[in-house]
């Protein structure tokens, strides 16, 4: 899916529509949406969830980045923010509501007037677009 988005965007010189990506992947639009939904099912973990004890959490938090690591982190953050800004408006809104406002998919669906399943599909598409644009 990521490679198909990359190919279509390179060919078009801009955003790839769902239909164009599905055609590139040689699947139906419905199958493409199912693939996008499945792609978004990866579980996101916070630092708190990954740490099993308070001492582990403090050791993770106590790690100090070198100046090089800090610059690299800033560059990645800037690239990610720039890439998110290029997403279609609806996908950009979903990313903001999910990651910034910390709403769940059901709540986002209520705001956008779509099903939780559709939000999941759009979230998966957004993640695929971001990966396609950030990987070389």
**Structural Rg of the chain based on CA atoms:** 17
Please, what is the average pLDDT of the chain?
Answer: 80
Q: Is this structure's pTM higher than 0.85?
A: no
Instruction: Give whole-number Cα distances, 34 to 1, 38, 94, 98, in Å.
Output: 11, 6, 18, 20
In Å, how far from its chain's centre is CA 121? 11
pLDDT tens for residues 101-113?
A: 999 999 999 999 9
Q: d(Cα 101, Cα 66) in Å, to the nearest integer? A: 30
User: pLDDT band at 134, cuts 50/70/90?
Assistant: confident
CA distance linking residue 40 with residue 120, whole number of Å: 6
Mean pLDDT, residues 117-135: 89
Write the CATH number of the domain with boundaries 2-134: 1.20.140
Percent of the chain surpassing pLDDT 70: 81
More confident residue, 92 or 47: 92
Let me know if 90 is exposed, middle or buried by CB neighbors in 10 A (0-12, 13-18, 19+).
middle
Can you read off the two tokens belonging to residue 109? 């669906």
Task: Check pLDDT > 70 for residue 47.
Answer: no
All structural domains of the chain with their residue ranges = 2-134
Residue found by looking up tokens 């610059």 in the block: 71
pLDDT higher than 60, residue 55: no
């Amino acid at each position: 899916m990521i490679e198909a988005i990359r190919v279509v965007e390179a060919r078009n010189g801009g955003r790839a529509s769902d239909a164009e990506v599905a055609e590139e992947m040689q699947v139906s639009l419905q199958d493409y949406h199912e693939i996008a939904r499945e792609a978004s099912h990866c579980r996101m973990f916070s630092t708190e969830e990954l740490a099993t004890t308070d001492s582990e959490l403090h050791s993770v938090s106590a790690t100090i980045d070198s100046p090089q690591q800090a610059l690299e982190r800033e560059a990645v953050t800037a690239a990610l923010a720039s890439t998110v800004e290029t997403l279609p408006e609806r996908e950009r809104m979903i990313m903001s509501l999910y990651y910034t406002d910390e709403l769940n998919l059901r709540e986002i669906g209520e705001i956008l007037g779509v099903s939780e399943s559709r939000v999941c599909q759009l979230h998966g598409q957004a993640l695929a677009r971001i990966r396609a644009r950030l990987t070389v």
